Amino acid sequence: SSGINAESQSVIQRKRLRVTPSDNKRKRVREKPKEDKRRLNREYKKRQKERKNEWMKDKVNSIKNSSVRNLSDIEIPDIVYLYLSKGLGFIHSTTGSKEDLLFDAKEFLRKIAWKAYFRNNGSSEETEDDDVDNLHPDLRIPSRKHPPTEAKSAMFKDIEARLLCFLGTLDLKKPRSNLTPAEERGKGWIRRRVKEQQLFVTRADKGGAILILNFQDALEATRQEMMDIEKFECIKQKPTERMDSIRKKVNKKVLTLEERNKLSAKDRLLITGITDEGGMKHSPVFRSTVPFPYPLFKIHKCTPQQIEDKVIPPLRLVHSTRNGPLYRVEKWCSPVLTSISREYCKNEFLLDTPDLIQQLEALNREIDPNEKFLLFTLDVVALYPSISVDMALEAMDHAFSCDGNHDEDTRTAVKELSELILKESFVVFEDRVYKGKKGIPTGNCISRQCADFTMHWLLFVMLKITDWNFWKCVAEWKRFIDDIFGKWRGSAHQFQMFINKLNEESKPYGIQFADAQIGTKVHYLDLTIYIDDENEIQYSLYRKETDARQYLNTGSFHPTSVFRSVAFSQMLRIISRNSREETLIKDMKELRDDLMRCGHSEGKLLEIEPKAVLRSMENYARANSDVPSEDEVKETLVFTTKFFREVDKLKAFVRGLNLDIKRLVGDVRVIFALKKNTNIQQTVTMNRRLSQGRTDIPAITSKRNQGCGGTRCKTCPLLFDFDDEIRVNGQRLHLDPKLSCNSKNIVYLAQCIACQGKRSKIAGELSIPEEQVLVEDTYFGQTISEGRARMNGHRSAFKRDQSGNFPDHAKSALAQHCYDHHQQNMDIKNFKIGFVKCCKVFDSDREEAKFISKYRTEISGLNRIKVIR
């Protein structure tokens, strides 16, 4: 290096650094395009973000103006609008439950076993009910019985083994979420506000829009309606006392009617659950729930300015009486009342829009081209609250006197039970019992029939409007509950005079008519009805301005066939509700746009459209044909389960079993009924909670166990402490701290202490962990009564008779276990009790089966024991 001169060293140094005299200039030239590229990239991303924000802003504004209306004073984040815009019917992605699926499969196998049993033992014993076709589905008593074990053939056992083996190996994977991260955050935000009773989310009365209100505003509006002394009276009775009182009145009335031979023993069992021996049938359908009111807000009555100013819309109260103490009576009376009311009102009765369309087509065939007429519509102001109970019963009496299709005994029974329903109906609001003072309940199973009776009786029997001079102008009169449509041969002024007289005459009865329309074009139900240039009546689809036009989003966790069915049925509806091609094309275009907004593909919609047109033509030809349809009706075998992603694999496997199933039970058609999972409506709407009023969130207390604290409670000393470690067949189990001895509709477990000691002894002798020792010591059960009442039932099986024996030990799995293994210490104190889950009354069997399956106590546990019921 010493021989290299300074200039050479400088060149070498520059080469090492890759820098030449002109490099700095070249570098600046190269860097300039890079900087421009980065700048352009930043500007592009900025514009993209602005476009995205602008698109989001437009989308949220569109949602605010159509499907989701915020009437609260809380600012709702955009992510909540995006979540709710999916629609209340939208279902989140859900992983299938193996325990649920096994329970459903066993129910399906039970149906196969009974069909095979009845086929082999004669068809005369196939059903207990002779009139099963005329029986309302809600009146049927679900059975948990299985056919005798010896009646199960080898083929059935083969089908059972193959199906259960397939389900055991079926891998249920977690589906991909159908909500974006932003929508998940929106879901969490709205759920917290609803749970904290800041907001109340509900569906609008008409149009399908989702309304968000302050919880306090919704509560005050409902409370104001309930406190109206002209409509409701508060009864000085606790809800439980009122429930018991109504149940006793129903039982007494039904038993009296049976004694008078007005009701059969079968009817008595269906309505009350009272058996021939005088006992009570053990079924959750006879466990009543408390009826409650909830509001439906009529946003279609508000102007756009009122909606913008967040004015609380007027409301109508609906009585939720499903599974209430009078529900089974209502369902028993409903078919008879429906039959009589349709015959009584047949000259003016409208069933629905298709029935109206048939009537309009019949009118067109009779219209004279030179006839001059107008169309009119009328509406009754608050019909259900305006009908007094006495007036409804008087109208029912008159309708029954005109009936010739039912025997006198049936009419007597229905009349007396209907009187009981109308006079004893009640709801519970804020822990107070309210009874209607004026009007009949809205939402009751027999409310529509009573309204039909009353309106026809009032107009044509009491007021005798057919005798009025104005009636000569009425060329047609049709009524759908409180909405009236007709043809008018007079002038608009004469029509107004007719309405004035109608209101004057009906005022003493509390009925008033309003919202009258008359002209060549009127809106009625979901139709716009008008007179064309050729003097014929035409019709097209009518939508209110507040109609959200919300259909099931295709991202929802539903079977693919459901989305096709939605599009197909809506197209059929559009076709049937348009008599002219030009309005049909316009409405069909709007429908396609609405469906595409909900995720449907335009190409698939264009494929479905001609099929819908063809089906509509077939339906029209069938409706106008005198030849009866000869569709073959097969017996069905239904596999009911919740939808899950791998359901197609299950369907394919069951189709493979079809041949063996037909050999076993005959020619049947196996169909799948896929139940829905939890949707947005079940997640965010809390109507029952509103009826309970504002409640404080209970503070977490440091309880030692699940005891009720009663000094005389015999179950409290048997309970596990929260500190106890509970293991069932090696799996850890946790108790629900919110449950106690007083809780109803629960799943409980009982674990034998003596067998636990045996487990520890075996583990010590073999030097292995205790969880590896399997001992039959645990029992899972369910009860719809209070937990302590069920424990008293188990305790009664431990009683000795005078001879020192235990005659009832076979009635309880706990007593049977002690009788077999600990007879020297036969006492329920051998068991520790815990309450593991609260469930819905109709899901108690399912939830019990899920715990039994998960912890395998039907294989290694006390659930193997067969008890005498």
Kindly report, residue by residue over 461-471, the tens digit of the pLDDT: 999 998 898 88
Please report the pLDDT score of residue 199 as a whole number. 94
421 has a pLDDT exceeding 50: yes
Please report the pLDDT score of residue 631 as a whole number. 54
Query: Count of alpha carbons within 13 Å of 554, Cβ hemisphere only?
Result: 17
Q: Are 527 and 517 in contact (CB under 8 A)?
A: no
Please tell me the distance from the alpha carbon of residue 273 to that of residue 410, in angstroms, as a whole number: 20
Give 76's DSSP letter. P
pLDDT tens digits for 79-107? 999 999 999 999 999 998 999 999 999 99
Coil, strand or helix at 137 = helix
Residues 501-509: contacts with CB under 8 Å, at least 24 apart? 501/468, 501/470, 502/463, 502/465, 505/463, 506/458, 506/463, 509/391, 509/458, 509/462
Q: Which segment of 196-205, 459-468, 699-708 scores lowest on mean pLDDT?
A: 699-708
The candidate with the shortest Cα–Cα distance to 461, out of 351, 557, 580, 345, is: 345
Please report the pLDDT score of residue 766 as a whole number. 72
Banded pLDDT at 773 (limits 50, 70, 90): low
Please report the pLDDT score of residue 21 as a whole number. 52
Banded pLDDT at 32 (limits 50, 70, 90): low
Please report the pLDDT score of residue 133 as a whole number. 47
Q: How many CB atoms lie within 10 A of CB 618?
A: 10
The candidate with the shortest Cα–Cα distance to 785, out of 709, 724, 844, is: 844
Please report the pLDDT score of residue 446 as a whole number. 93
pLDDT tens digits for 112-157? 999 999 888 865 443 443 344 456 677 888 888 888 887 788 999 9
The candidate with the shortest Cα–Cα distance to 545, out of 731, 853, 199, 306, is: 306
Query: What percentage of the chain reaches a pLDDT higher than 70?
Result: 92
Query: What percentage of the chain reaches a pLDDT higher than 90?
Result: 58
754 has a pLDDT exceeding 90: no
851 has a pLDDT exceeding 90: yes
Q: Are 541 and 528 in contact (CB under 8 A)?
A: yes
Please tell me the distance from the alpha carbon of residue 845 to that of residue 7, in angstroms, as a whole number: 97
Please state the rounded mean pLDDT for residues 229-244: 90
Residue-by-residue DSSP string for 692-736: T---PPPPPP--SBS----TT-SSGGGBPBTTS-EEETTEEE---
Give 175's DSSP letter. P
Banded pLDDT at 205 (limits 50, 70, 90): confident
The candidate with the shortest Cα–Cα distance to 551, out of 597, 584, 583, 590, is: 597
Please report the pLDDT score of residue 130 as a whole number. 38
How far apart, in Å, are the Cα atoms of 590 and each of 55, 68, 583? 22, 20, 11
Banded pLDDT at 701 (limits 50, 70, 90): low
Contacts of 735 (CB under 8 A, 6+ apart): 706, 720, 722, 726, 834, 835, 836
Q: Of all helices (H) and strands (E), which one includes residue 185?
A: helix 181-195
Region of 455 (left: φ > 0; alpha: ψ -120 to 50; beta: rest) is alpha
How far apart, in Å, are the Cα atoms of 424 and each of 243, 245, 254, 346, 413? 11, 10, 15, 30, 16
Q: Are 833 and 719 in contact (CB under 8 A)?
A: yes
Please report the pLDDT score of residue 301 as a whole number. 86
Please report the pLDDT score of residue 698 as a whole number. 52
Report H helices in 725-803.
753-766, 787-796
Coil, strand or helix at 333 = helix
442 has a pLDDT exceeding 80: yes
Give 171's DSSP letter. -
- Residues found in the chain: 869
Please report the pLDDT score of residue 327 as a whole number. 94
Please state the rounded mean pLDDT for residues 559-570: 94
- If one compares 547 and 782, the residue with the highest pLDDT of the two is 782
pLDDT tens digits for 797-813? 999 888 888 888 888 99
pLDDT tens digits for 324-381? 999 999 999 999 999 999 999 988 999 999 999 999 998 998 888 888 999 999 999 9
Please tell me the distance from the alpha carbon of residue 218 to that of residue 293, in angstroms, as a whole number: 12
Banded pLDDT at 486 (limits 50, 70, 90): very high
Residues 812-818: contacts with CB under 8 Å, at least 24 apart? 812/867, 813/779, 813/781, 813/862, 813/863, 813/865, 813/867, 814/750, 814/779, 814/862, 816/865, 816/867, 817/752, 817/776, 817/779, 817/862, 817/865, 818/752
The residue with tokens 């309003």 is 514
How far apart, in Å, are the Cα atoms of 846 and each of 324, 555, 638, 833, 843? 22, 29, 17, 20, 5
Q: Are 296 and 320 in contact (CB under 8 A)?
A: no
Banded pLDDT at 771 (limits 50, 70, 90): low
Please state the rounded mean pLDDT for residues 706-711: 85
Please report the pLDDT score of residue 725 as a whole number. 85
704 has a pLDDT exceeding 90: no
pLDDT tens digits for 249-267? 999 999 999 999 999 999 9
28 has a pLDDT exceeding 70: no
Please report the pLDDT score of residue 7 as a whole number. 58
Please tell me the distance from the alpha carbon of residue 106 to that of residue 167, in angstroms, as a whole number: 11
628 has a pLDDT exceeding 80: no
Please tell me the distance from the alpha carbon of residue 609 to that of residue 600, in angstroms, as a whole number: 13
